[in-house]
Amino acid sequence: MARSALNALLTPALADRLAEFDPRALIHDLNGQLEEPHVIWDSRMRAELAALCDELEGRLPEAGTPDAEDFELERDRIRAAEAEEGARWDGFVYEALKDEFVVGSVYIRVYNAAPTKPLHDAAAFVVALVRYLEACDVERTVRGAPTANPATDPFQRLGAALDALRNVLATLPKLSALFADPTLVAALVAALAPMPGLATVALQERRCTVVLKALTVMTVIVGAPGTLEFFAKEDCICKCFWIVFEACSGVKKAAADGGEGLEEDAYDQPMLPCAKQALSFLHSLARTKECAWAAGCQAGGLYLLSAILPAAHELPPGALEDEPGADEAAWRGLPPEGRTAAANLVGQLAAEPSHGSRLGLLSAAVLPLGLPEALKDGPGDVAAAAFRDYKADSPERVWTAPMAARTGQVRGRA
């Protein structure tokens, strides 16, 4: 019970220092301000400790030595009181620390503010963060309403945990080797799962935040020994291809003036920030036969081609035979740098020896003569520009705006 009381009153990190031979450093810190990854101590906590000590002093029994018979009669009461006191210390938390988010004995807010500060056991901290992510219901967290206190909001804490994982891996790259354990990688891949029915921009932006942070961590560790084998699985790869496809879709903004027109700026693309990171991660896997298989046989290549093809609002007037439907109008595509990255990825995947030919066949089935070759030959910016050269008329390639409009209907089959 004494150990529990000391941990509660001084916090575990400071209580451990009571064993130090020279107490002067501890006394100095107890009279000062500390904000480190493993310990927080300030004037508010000192004041609360002083008040608590005064309270405990008032509860001390009067001096005197009871005889053996009294001890025997009061034994059960004494034991019950000890158990109650022990439970009190086990559940005691300073008011200043009640809203602090702690994982693996590390204060996440403090660590993220200064990730270069040393940790007692960085490897254990990484594992603790991943176990926290495993225990999170990501979809429920994303869909949940924000709480009144951001410090205790589950969504904010999920994001802070992912930030801490990114920070510790960036500061200590050797820790990426821990992810050779597939159980550690699985929690990150699970965060990429689709969430149907997110009807508002705000909900999709919350999902984008989680996906982007998870992809950032995955991009950091994908080069570590043993991790590529797990990431190069169909489930992970298909989720990344789908994220690229999702990023191209827009959500209709609410019309402030009650108008019915579908102007270009009437759409938001809440998932767009994820596209760059998803493409970067897929580039890391482009040489694997699993990634080429997913592109050629699991619609991944179709998603990439859809991202490169021009959207309805990018086509010149008169290219569309009919007015675009709601789905076509909501398709916004990728910005130029995103199209370049997607085109480069298609070229890399098409060159993969085992299954790259499958993607080549898919491209040839969807695109007119000349464009599949442009994707294969590269570079990506030249290939992506070819999709918007509506005056191409040569033996190698014929491509017009109406052809681009009809080919764009491939998105309806994606």
Write the pLDDT tens digit of every residue in 23-56: 888 888 888 899 999 999 989 989 988 888 888 7
CA dihedral 253, 259, 264, 266 (to 10 degrees): -10
- Strand-pairing partners, residue 40, are 35
413 has a pLDDT exceeding 60 = no
Closest CA to 250 of 343, 308, 336, 326: 326
Q: Structural domain boundaries of the chain?
A: 2-59+78-97, 114-225, 232-253+267-414
- What percentage of the chain exceeds 70 in pLDDT? 84
> Tokens at residue 131, please?
């176990």
Whole-angstrom Cα distance, residue 380 to residue 374? Answer: 9
Band of pLDDT at residue 236, cut at 50, 70 and 90: very high
DSSP string across 15-41: HGGGG-S--HHHHHHHTS-EEETTEEE
Listing DSSP states for 226-289 in one string gives: THHHHHTSHHHHHHHHHHHHHHTB-EEPPPTT------GGGEE-TTHHHHHHHHHHHHHHTTSH
Structure tokens at 86: 């022990």
The predicted model scores a pTM of 0.85
pLDDT in tens, 292-351: 999 988 889 999 998 898 887 777 776 666 555 656 667 788 899 999 999 999 999 999
The pLDDT-based confidence of 261 (bands split at 50, 70, 90) is very low
Chain centroid to CA 125: how far? 17
Is residue 317 classed as helix, strand or coil in its secondary structure? coil
3-state secondary structure of 374: helix
Distance CA 293, CA 301 (A): 9
pLDDT band of 206, cuts 50, 70, 90 = very high
pLDDT at residue number 258:
45
- Distance of alpha carbon 359 from alpha carbon 304, whole angstroms: 11
Confidence of residue 187 (pLDDT cuts 50, 70, 90): very high
Confidence at residue 323, expressed as pLDDT on a 0 to 100 scale? 57
Q: How far is residue 240's CA from residue 279's CA, in Å, rounded to a whole number?
A: 8
pLDDT, the chain, mean: 84
